[in-house]
Amino acid sequence: MASEPAPISFARGAPSLDIVDVDGLRAAADRAFQNDPAGTTAYGTSIGYVPLRTWIAEQHGVAPEQVIVTNGSMQADAFLFEALVEDGDTVVVEKPTYDRTLLSLRSRGADVRPVDLHEDGIDVAGVEALIADGVMPRLAHLIPNFQNPAGYTLSGDKRRALVALAAEHGITIFEDDPYVQLRFSGEPLPTMLSLDQADRVVYASSFSKTVCPGIRVGYLVGPEKLIARIAKLATNTYISPNMVAQSIVNEFVRADGGGAFERSVARVKDALQERAAALCAALARELPEARFVAPQGGYFLWVELPEGTDGDALFAAAAERGVQIVKGTDFLLEGGENAFRLAYSGVTVPQIEEGVARLADAVRSLGVAA
């Protein structure tokens, strides 16, 4: 090619601007300062903006005291790990899982135990086998819906089995659920939080995917005592989270009795469904040797190429063609050389088609047999 190809990024799990409701946000910001100038501009406390905390509690059918609203759900994870994970504690994670969770747990000195992730979620027998071997997890980190990086969803049966296992063995399940609102096919499944009768589940979610990432509002729902402990950690870390942002989110989700929020999320889901379909079709057409599972929601697709594919070489060959992907090895303690993650949230359908064509060209340049 005479000129550099236009960059196409399948790398970052973030929405493209066209599926962010900027006008809705502008209007929500205006109402936030108008309707509650004191609450919006003052420090508040570490539990977050009270009306938003109440709204979240209502959504989950829990008491407000079970909720803390934070500066994004990564910060919520950090507080939770600080509260629960000591050096040497065993933590079960999915294999593969979110790279930042791996990093965060390892930096705390956790004994991280990845358990295979199947199309219907984590291998419950694998968790049971760990316990049978005398390795008792303190915590199990699970991304139940449209998992990052795999796009897979934990089945209802497995949710029930895991909640029972947690109750029996005193394991805390960290249900990390930022994509739950982005289901574009299939039926919604109950959260493990709602199935739990033994105070063994802590649930995290975020408005990054339904409002916008730059708003940095996430939250935890869990047992009241644990939330109170985390609120104390939060006070000592930052006094209080961003009240302006949380007040804007509160106005955004409550507008028109929730109808405006619902329509905004519906637009996001429609776009994601279209993008996921385009991506699956393009992969099937251009890269018939690729294995993947069509997702029912969310941002991500996990693609496996035949064993022996050199992931580092593929990453480089794709980058040479202006295409960014994330290496499978980033989501695993070992293995994953023949896999990669594609995020379809930030690319349009024409970019997807062009991007997959270039990616296929990159794969062929490695001499991988179909």
Q: Confirm if 366 and 314 have CB atoms less than 8 A apart.
A: yes
Q: What's the closest the beta carbon of residue 150 comes to a second copy, in angstroms? A: 20
State the DSSP code for 145. S
Q: What's the closest the beta carbon of residue 52 comes to a second copy, in angstroms? A: 13
**Best CA proximity match to 176, nearest among 236, 82, 94:** 94
**Best CA proximity match to 355, nearest among 328, 323, 312, 326:** 323
Q: What's the closest the beta carbon of residue 172 comes to a second copy, in angstroms? A: 21
Nearer to a second copy, 98 or 146 (CB): 98
d(CA 286, CA 289): 9
- DSSP string spanning 336-364? -TTEEEEE-TT--HHHHHHHHHHHHHHHH
Nearer to a second copy, 74 or 143 (CB): 74
State the DSSP code for 36. -
Nearer to a second copy, 59 or 107 (CB): 107
Q: Which residues contact 167 (CB under 8 A, 6 or more apart)?
A: 196, 197, 198, 200
Q: What's the closest the beta carbon of residue 348 comes to a second copy, in angstroms? A: 15
Cα 83–158–100 angle (5° rounding)? 40
Binding site for a second copy (CB under 8 A): 12, 14, 17, 20, 22, 25-26, 29-30, 32-34, 37-44, 71-72, 74-75, 78, 100, 103-104, 107, 208, 212-216, 236-245, 247-248
Q: What's the closest the beta carbon of residue 241 comes to a second copy, in angstroms? A: 7
Q: What's the closest the beta carbon of residue 264 comes to a second copy, in angstroms? A: 13
Q: What's the closest the beta carbon of residue 248 comes to a second copy, in angstroms? A: 7
Nearer to a second copy, 191 or 247 (CB): 247
d(CA 53, CA 219): 9
Nearer to a second copy, 141 or 159 (CB): 141
Q: What's the closest the beta carbon of residue 120 comes to a second copy, in angstroms? A: 29
The CA-based diameter of the chain, rounded to the nearest angstrom, is 64
d(CA 82, CA 152): 28
Nearer to a second copy, 17 or 132 (CB): 17
Q: Confirm if 254 and 52 have CB atoms less than 8 A apart.
A: no
Nearer to a second copy, 92 or 249 (CB): 249
> How many H-runs (helices) and E-runs (strands) does the chain carry?
13, 13
Nearer to a second copy, 115 or 212 (CB): 212
Q: What's the closest the beta carbon of residue 158 comes to a second copy, in angstroms? A: 29
Q: Which residues contact 153 (CB under 8 A, 6 or more apart)?
A: 120, 121, 144, 145, 146, 147, 186, 189, 295, 296, 297
Nearer to a second copy, 217 or 339 (CB): 217
